[in-house]
Amino acid sequence: MDWLEEITTRQADVILANSKFTSRVTKSYFKTISQPLRVVYPGINISAYEVPVNPEDPDIMAVFSVKPTLLSLNRFEQKKNAALAVQAFANLKSKLPNRPLRLVLAGGYDPRLDDNLLTLDTLIHLTKSLALTYNIITPPSSKKSIKIPPGNLTPDDPDVLFLLNFTTAQRTALLSNPSTMALLYTPANEHFGIGPVEAMVCGVPVLACNSGGPTESVLDSPLQERTGWLRPPEAD
């Protein structure tokens, strides 16, 4: 079907891409498209991140912590490579054994999708293999019942918190919490990546892979303008 998509796409008067990276990838696959693609970066609703956080909201209470927190916002899919965040977090804890730290892995999760199931199961096994405690939660306000995988959960103060299907309020609370030190954005060659933009609008620095869309949204240099770091996808 690629040839049909290519033929029909090139008939368009204007072709949009969500990043320069996506534009290059599209042109590399659809070689007969001669016109330049127009890059339009996705936007976010800034006002959604400015809503005051209600500390008495059960959803907020479920994710609140004063522990220095590293945050990952990604769907539970293998291509998002959240395992890199877990490995890097374990390495950091081994170097700072006396410092309390927390990793929050928050994202969309659908138990009907094999990829979601396998990804969460793989992350749980990795977490246990690295001798990290963990807990798995869904928003208390959620009306959808999701079966939590069985395991040796640590409800109180875990090293790693898996947050399935977070709410908008929880996302805002996590990004605006002074204890959140950085957003770990682990996908490589992501076409754009809205997560880093969400973090930066809240003043949270971003550590992202040095490929794909984040290279166009995250400023690594000059130092006085830096909004994050772009590094190879390596846990060390």
DSSP notation for 131-143: T--EEEE--TT--
Which amino acid is it at 30? F
**Residue 151 — very low, low, confident or very high, per pLDDT cuts 50/70/90?**
confident
Specify the pLDDT at position 13: 93
| Residues linked to residue 207 through DSSP beta bridges, in sequence order | 184, 229
Q: What is the pLDDT of residue 1?
A: 53
Inform me whether the pLDDT recorded for 154 exceeds 70. yes
Kindly state the helix (H) or strand (E) to which residue 38 belongs, with its residue range. Answer: strand 38-39
Sign of CA dihedral 167, 169, 170, 176: positive
pLDDT for 15 beyond 90? yes
| Average confidence (pLDDT) over 142-165 | 88
* Alpha carbons 226 and 219: distance in angstroms, whole number: 5
For residue 23, what are the contacts with CB-CB under 8 A and spacing of at least 6?
A: 17, 36, 37, 39
Which string of DSSP letters, residue by residue, matches 168-202? HHHHHHHHH-TTEEEEEE--SS-SS-HHHHHHHHT
Whether pLDDT at 92 is above 60: yes
Q: How far apart are the first and last CA of the chain?
A: 41
pLDDT at 199 over 80: yes
Average pLDDT over residues 53-75: 96
